Structure 1
Amino acid sequence: MMRQVMTLPAGRVAKWVIVALWIALLVPALMLAGKLGDVEKNDNAAWLPGNAESTKVVEQAGKFQPAETLPAIVIYDRPGGVTPADMTKARADAEAFKGITNVVGQPQGPSKSQDGKAIQTVVQVHDGKEGWDGARKVIDAMTRVGEQNANGLGFHVTGPAGYASDSVKSFGGGGLVETITALVVVAILLLTYRSPLLPLVPLLAAGGALVTAEAVIYLLAKNAGLTVNTQTSFILTVLVFGAATDYALLLISRYREELRRHEDRHEAMAEALRRSGPAIIASAATVAVSLLVLMLATLNSTKGLGPASAIGILVGLLAMLTLMPALLVICGRWIFWPVKPSYGSAGATGASIWTRVGVAVSRRPRIVWVGTALVLGVMGLGVAGLKADGIPSKGQFTTETQAVVGEEIQARHFPAGSGDPVYVVAKAASAEQVKTVLSGVPGIADVAAPMIREGEGLVVGTLDAPPGSRAAMRTVEQARAAIHRIEGAEALLGGNTAIALDIQQAAARDAKVIIPIVLVVVFAILALLLRAIVAPLLLMATVVLSFGAALGVSALVFNHVFDFAGADANFPLLVFVFLVALGIDYNIFLVTRVREEAMLHGTRRGALTGLSATGGVITSAGLVLAGTFAALGALPLVFAAQLGFAVAFGVLLDTMIVRSVLVTALALDVGRWMWWPSKLFKHRDDAQPPAGRPDSAPALAGT
């Protein structure tokens, strides 16, 4: 029954039914996918769990100031000193700001700096139902007001609202990411199959999968409380295109071979699905389950990314095993033009590069795997320099934005933390004591008089250091320790810097919990799939070693080439999950073929045959996935550039070195012990092929 379901898309009638069903599905999916931005939650507070201290402050501070507001810090500057006319303009602008939709309350200021060279006004911005995009519209309107009749007076908007606006504009490059991703997929498929028409089929199927996945995620975010943000959206794009195209490569390779063996293309596709389908399904299931482990995170952004990414993987799998086979069968052999695989024709002959790599590794497998492991270990030493404790606000972008320039000017003329303070909520009777204690904390520049509402007090303090910086976070930690010691005050400290600190601490906790669980889950899946214990242990060791090497090299590049100010707190966890899950993907493609050959010829010959048979398709798949993640570099965001580089480098390292050299050398050296305690362990290995003579492996037929 399972075999019949697997080959269903290849049926003469079924292929038309499947295409019709996908068309019917995509019509409403297109409309729902376009609404995904409406349910995104991009503010930092929405990412935190409800029990975080800064989250509680956000809830309680609503008694004192409008909820869901962000401070916009307006900075005017004139190097020669501001004039009375400049102050008049700043006051007029402040009045004009009040008339802009979603500006709430009375602006604070304008106030002139002590050196007389800058003016500062703080405006509270309500982001409304549109989230950060709502803040962008307000900042754009304020900028139009501020730049009128400036007469050489510099104007910039910074602060949380300014950075939210710049972030939305940066994320607006998502369409560019999709375009670059599609071009990468097409380019690699063209190089792989040398056909100008064939790449259109997997590209169309991957696009349909992305739209469908976005529609499902929108429904879950709207009706089931799934937290998604713009970060989720651009990661979903590269993940679906990359993984779905990987599955397409495996199936198309097998289909092309079967077309040479079967005169009827329907029979060829049915056989291709039977042979490659189980490995593709096992790989996708492993990736999806690994991503679902992210639901154990306390950080809502990470928790939401897990199911959203898993949905993308599963929908991509469905599209590549139904829509793409149906389209390929409908198109016929001409889709491979100009080199159509005709019935009875011979496939590629001669030793492939991976056959030659296997022969070279087989001469000294132990020396090869020990040497490779040592090199990877040395590469991993760079992890010690990874600064994954958050990115300061002005270090979030790879380009210079208005908010960054504004913050730099503000820091030269005003206390760095002015306009973006820390908030302490406490019992009203303890408010004055809280003010006194907070004033004595090093790094607190100023503390305002407490505000009292309904038995509770709000104390506002200004930081010396720039908001979100490491120095500011240390001040927040010291301030929390001090106010928590006030007996009976029930004092809680929040604000944007406190939110950043809580995100960092939640991310560290999530990494400690989730990484071991992912390792256990992936090991269990491999053990069930291979019916062995030794092979999964060795494969897991190679994946962890590959991850460490990728992270170590990334840290060195970030610090000494790109000079990034830091890395996002959950960056190591996301890189780990993507590289381990996707690395296991390639493990499955390779080792299932090795196991198949080992049952016939022994493990040593099976390892060489498996490498020769799958090396080409795994390399192409790795290039696709690396290229799609590298497309994240099109966004002017440090987090996107870092994630894209680390995953792209890690995938290339995995496919070119770890999978082809390290795993093959281990299999050759360990031999039949790879399969202990399964029945295959009891098979006697055949003699190793003589050095220099390629094994009799097919050029490439998939898995």
Structure 2
Amino acid sequence: MSEQEPPRSRWHPSALLAAYARVVVWLRWPVVAFWIAAAAASMLFLPAPGNSGSDLEKLVSTDNAAVQSEIRSFDKFGFPLLSRVAIVQRNPEGLPMATQTEALARARAVSEGAFPDVAPIVAAVPVTNTMGLFPGSREDGTTVITLLFTPPDVTFAKQLAAAQKFVETHYDADDAVVGVTGSVPARVEQGRILLSSLTLLEVATVAAVFFIVAIAFRSLVAPLLALSVAGVAILLTLHIGGALADRMGVPVPQETQPLLIALLLGVVTDYVVFYLSAVRGRLAAGAGRLDAAREATARFTPIIATAGATAAAGTGALIVAQSPAFRAFGPGMALAVLIGMLVAVTLVPALLAILGSAALWAPARRWAIKPADPAAEAESRTGGRWARLITMPFFAFIVLIVCTGGLIAAALPIRDLTLGVSFVESLPAGHPTRKAATEAQTGFARGILSPTELLVQGDGVASRQAELTALQESLGRVPGVAAVLGPGTEALPEGLNVFDAKDGSAVRYLLVLSDEPLGASAVNTLSRLQDDLPGMLKSAGLAQVQTSFGGDTALAKVVVDQTTSDLGRIAIAALLANLLFLILFMRALIAPVALLACSVLAIAATLGLTTWLFQDVLGGDGLTFYVPFAAAVLLVALGSDYNIFGIGPAWKEARTRPLREALAMTLPQSARAIRTAAITLAISFGLLVLVPLRPFQELAFALSVGIVIDAFIVRSLLAPALLTIIGSASDWPGRQLFQRVVYVRRRALDPTD
């Protein structure tokens, strides 16, 4: 029993942790064997991870208004108006009339069933920009777009394959085919690019982790240990997660796998770094390998377990969302963090107990065991002086004002943040699908490939030509609408009744927007249309009708609206989950609230910088809808990790001394490990930029910058300064810090008390 602490029972947390450390070290060989067997069994008996949820419609529930509008339209007309796959023919100098005529004949033959080899394509509709037949065309006679239609149960990959086979079989070089494009091909190509980028991403991330850990510990074995533990966690996560998704019928977004790999490599390496730092310190102090492993395990297991549980709870909070995309995204992230934490708190102590100083082996052995070289000692002295300075109330107040002001300034661009669901625009600029889309948009308008359908239903509405014409003219005057086709339009083949239902109870309009159909600007245009439509109907004399919108922009609007409406419940759930674990860990309220407020400020700054870069500097049409929210949830969860890693030791030390002194004493000790962990995690996420898709570039920037801000500004400067100013009140409503200080002072005055 220490002279400075009250007696502890065998059920005291410290005693339980010491017992846990002894058991893990004693069972070190069985623990290693268990995890090796578990990883092997997952590969042998569980299905390989797969990807689902690749269709746009799977991002929204089937009972949403946009999908239901398309279903009603099909039921009324027996023929869809919207196509998501198109073949583009284009010659900037003009397509020969023979080529255009042949395109019309070819499409008619497909629709009449004359080409059985093009199945599952059941119809084709050519659209030309010749002689202004299609309103809003930018050019004349340069472009033909053949829209392809398939049954609704055909997968996206099969739709694209059928379109490509159609081109290979029935077009020749004289037809000036640019390519196949549309939201369906773009989504399929995104998946292909993503899968083809995984190997490079994994190799680059592994190399980066190896290099960082090797430099930090001046060892060649330490990074191998970290990567081995992360590898076990990744195998288990991918196979167990895939099996659970298959069993529960939950679609797994294809974006999850690279994010899971980056998350696990970074997070597990973080945990290994803290265990290694503790073992290195004990070995340098002369402890044996088993004692060093036991002490490191007892010291950092509660911190790592709490950090992992907090991160898992924060990411798992996405399950409260209404959006299917977020509900599928959250559990996978939570499972990854939990598995990584469980592997880390058992396998790492076992391996360290087995390896001992060999875990820090390097060709120059003195580097591995003696961290206190002159450079490290100078760094330690500098860190100690800085820690004492930042915990002086006056200087802490200045740091608080400067950091808070800087983060608020960085957060200001978030006011202009907009969201989109772009597929074509997310592809690399030189990709054939995007190039074909660009050519089509140049010949017509930006929204030509994914027009919006307006369905108007009412008794005898098809016979009210004057009113329908007035409505069509009003729709065409809405800013952001490039062209409107409707009843009476003759831009499509003769005999194909696409605008008036046979029973006269419905009509539909085709709206071509001026902007990329799945971008933020098009979504805003559709929102404006929905707001203005009741007034336009009234002015046209069509007040007693029912209307609905369908098409990719309408689906994108549903996704964006769901995402925006989910913001409040996701934020509350994630913040409450993180706050709860901080309260349980610190047994206080004020300090956790203050630390969480720092995290929120860091996230706002991160999203502000991301908005500024991708919207203001690079000119993007809004951020990808899931990026700000996925990044925010991950940063809240990972920020709590650094709260616990950075403030946890100080909080424990503050039981025997004033909080300001505890901070000054512990900050230099934890700074080096936190820097290493943060750099590793930031680079792991930053390497997502190797996936040449815009959403991953946005995620890479947001997550890497957010982690750097959190570790180097918030945890190193802002949080210590804030706790210094709050002082002993940070322990409210508990009084354990105050009571411990009083107890220590009382024992110093009277050892017999």
Distance 1:32 1:451 in 2: 56
Task: Identify the residue that residue 640 of structure 1 maps to in structure 2.
Answer: 696
* Unmatched tracts of structure 1, length 5 or more: 687-703
Is 1:229 the counterpart of 2:263 in the alignment? no
Q: Does structure 2 conserve the Cα–Cα contact (< 8 Å) formed by 1:333 and 1:340?
A: no
Alignment of 1:178-197 (within 5 A): 178-197=202-221
Please state whether the residue corresponding to 1:36 is helix, strand or coil: coil
Task: Identify the residue that residue 491 of structure 2 maps to in structure 1.
Answer: none
Task: Identify the residue that residue 192 of structure 2 maps to in structure 1.
Answer: 169
Is 1:358 the counterpart of 2:382 in the alignment? no
Amino acid at match of 1:122: L
Residues 684 and 530 of structure 1: CA distance in aligned 2, closer, same or farther (over 3 Å): closer
Q: 2:403 aligns with which of 372, 386, 390?
A: 372
Task: Identify the residue that residue 477 of structure 1 maps to in structure 2.
Answer: 527
Distance 2:19 2:461 in 1: 69
Shift of 1:457: 5.1
Please state whether the residue corresponding to 2:222 is helix, strand or coil: coil
Task: Identify the residue that residue 89 of structure 2 maps to in structure 1.
Answer: 76
Alignment of 1:355-504 (within 5 A): 355-363=384-392, 364-386=395-417, 388-390=418-420, 392-424=422-454, 429=459, 432=462, 439=472, 440-442=474-476, 443=481, 445-447=484-486, 449-450=498-499, 452=501, 459-466=508-515, 467-470=517-520, 472-481=522-531, 482=533, 489-504=545-560
Residues 142 and 650 of structure 1: CA distance in aligned 2, closer, same or farther (over 3 Å): farther
Task: Identify the residue that residue 182 of structure 2 maps to in structure 1.
Answer: 159
Alignment of 1:515-534 (within 5 A): 515-534=571-590
Residues 342 and 410 of structure 1: CA distance in aligned 2, closer, same or farther (over 3 Å): closer
Task: Identify the residue that residue 495 of structure 2 maps to in structure 1.
Answer: none
Please state whether the residue corresponding to 1:230 is helix, strand or coil: coil
Distance 1:331 1:231 in 2: 37
Alignment of 1:208-287 (within 5 A): 208-260=232-284, 264-287=288-311
Distance 1:539 1:123 in 2: 55
Distance 2:633 2:118 in 1: 42
Alignment of 1:127-138 (within 5 A): 131-138=155-162
Alignment of 1:623-634 (within 5 A): 623-634=679-690
Q: Does structure 2 conserve the Cα–Cα contact (< 8 Å) formed by 1:113 and 1:414?
A: no
Is 1:536 the counterpart of 2:592 in the alignment? yes
Amino acid at match of 1:113: T
Residues 533 and 68 of structure 1: CA distance in aligned 2, closer, same or farther (over 3 Å): farther
Residues 437 and 567 of structure 1: CA distance in aligned 2, closer, same or farther (over 3 Å): farther
Residues 419 and 369 of structure 1: CA distance in aligned 2, closer, same or farther (over 3 Å): closer
Deviates more, 1:360-369 or 1:646-655: 360-369
Distance 2:81 2:159 in 1: 11
Residues 626 and 683 of structure 1: CA distance in aligned 2, closer, same or farther (over 3 Å): same
Distance 2:570 2:309 in 1: 18
Please state whether the residue corresponding to 2:121 is helix, strand or coil: strand
Please state whether the residue corresponding to 2:221 is helix, strand or coil: coil
Please state whether the residue corresponding to 1:107 is helix, strand or coil: strand
Shift of 1:120: 1.7
Q: 2:28 aligns with which of 15, 28, 42?
A: 15
Shift of 1:515: 1.4
Q: Does structure 1 conserve the Cα–Cα contact (< 8 Å) formed by 2:82 and 2:451?
A: no
Distance 2:104 2:733 in 1: 80
Shift of 1:505: 1.0
Q: Does structure 2 conserve the Cα–Cα contact (< 8 Å) formed by 1:158 and 1:404?
A: yes
Task: Identify the residue that residue 580 of structure 1 maps to in structure 2.
Answer: 636
Distance 1:27 1:51 in 2: 42
Amino acid at match of 1:548: A
Q: Does structure 1 conserve the Cα–Cα contact (< 8 Å) formed by 2:156 and 2:185?
A: no
Task: Identify the residue that residue 493 of structure 2 maps to in structure 1.
Answer: none
Shift of 1:57: 3.0
Shift of 1:281: 0.5
**1:277-308, Cα deviation, whole Å (9 max, x unpaired):** 00000011111111111111111111111111
Q: 2:567 aligns with which of 496, 501, 511?
A: 511
Deviates more, 1:134-143 or 1:547-556: 134-143
Amino acid at match of 1:441: L
Shift of 1:324: 3.3
Deviates more, 1:657-666 or 1:452-461: 452-461
Q: Does structure 1 conserve the Cα–Cα contact (< 8 Å) formed by 2:563 and 2:626?
A: yes
Please state whether the residue corresponding to 1:82 is helix, strand or coil: coil
Is 1:106 the counterpart of 2:123 in the alignment? yes
Shift of 1:450: 4.1
Q: Which structure has the larger Rg over C-alpha atoms?
A: 2
Q: 1:550 aligns with which of 606, 610, 616?
A: 606
Distance 1:344 1:479 in 2: 69
Shift of 1:587: 0.6
Task: Identify the residue that residue 143 of structure 2 maps to in structure 1.
Answer: 118
* Unmatched tracts of structure 2, length 5 or more: 1-10, 132-139, 488-497, 743-753
Shift of 1:625: 1.1
Amino acid at match of 2:556: A
Distance 1:34 1:627 in 2: 30
Deviates more, 1:455-464 or 1:631-640: 455-464
Shift of 1:232: 1.9
Task: Identify the residue that residue 41 of structure 1 maps to in structure 2.
Answer: 53
Distance 2:218 2:397 in 1: 38
Amino acid at match of 1:18: V
Shift of 1:93: 7.1
Residues 566 and 342 of structure 1: CA distance in aligned 2, closer, same or farther (over 3 Å): closer
Amino acid at match of 2:301: G
Task: Identify the residue that residue 672 of structure 2 maps to in structure 1.
Answer: 616
Q: 1:336 aligns with which of 346, 360, 365?
A: 360
Shift of 1:331: 3.9
Q: So what's the TM-score if we normalise by structure 2?
A: 0.82
Residues 459 and 368 of structure 1: CA distance in aligned 2, closer, same or farther (over 3 Å): same
Amino acid at match of 2:54: N
Residues 332 and 132 of structure 1: CA distance in aligned 2, closer, same or farther (over 3 Å): farther
Q: Does structure 2 conserve the Cα–Cα contact (< 8 Å) formed by 1:109 and 1:122?
A: yes
Distance 1:37 1:156 in 2: 29
Task: Identify the residue that residue 695 of structure 1 maps to in structure 2.
Answer: none
**1:517-559, Cα deviation, whole Å (9 max, x unpaired):** 3223322322222122221122122112211222222222223
Task: Identify the residue that residue 718 of structure 2 maps to in structure 1.
Answer: 662
Q: Does structure 1 conserve the Cα–Cα contact (< 8 Å) formed by 2:46 and 2:243?
A: no
Q: Does structure 1 conserve the Cα–Cα contact (< 8 Å) formed by 2:83 and 2:147?
A: no
Q: Does structure 1 conserve the Cα–Cα contact (< 8 Å) formed by 2:124 and 2:147?
A: yes
Give % identity: 23
Q: So what's the TM-score if we normalise by structure 1?
A: 0.87
Distance 1:488 1:224 in 2: 44
Deviates more, 1:278-287 or 1:433-442: 433-442
Distance 1:342 1:264 in 2: 18
Distance 1:37 1:609 in 2: 49
Residues 383 and 600 of structure 1: CA distance in aligned 2, closer, same or farther (over 3 Å): same
Task: Identify the residue that residue 3 of structure 2 maps to in structure 1.
Answer: none
Residues 221 and 428 of structure 1: CA distance in aligned 2, closer, same or farther (over 3 Å): farther
Please state whether the residue corresponding to 2:178 is helix, strand or coil: strand
Shift of 1:414: 2.7
Distance 1:65 1:217 in 2: 41
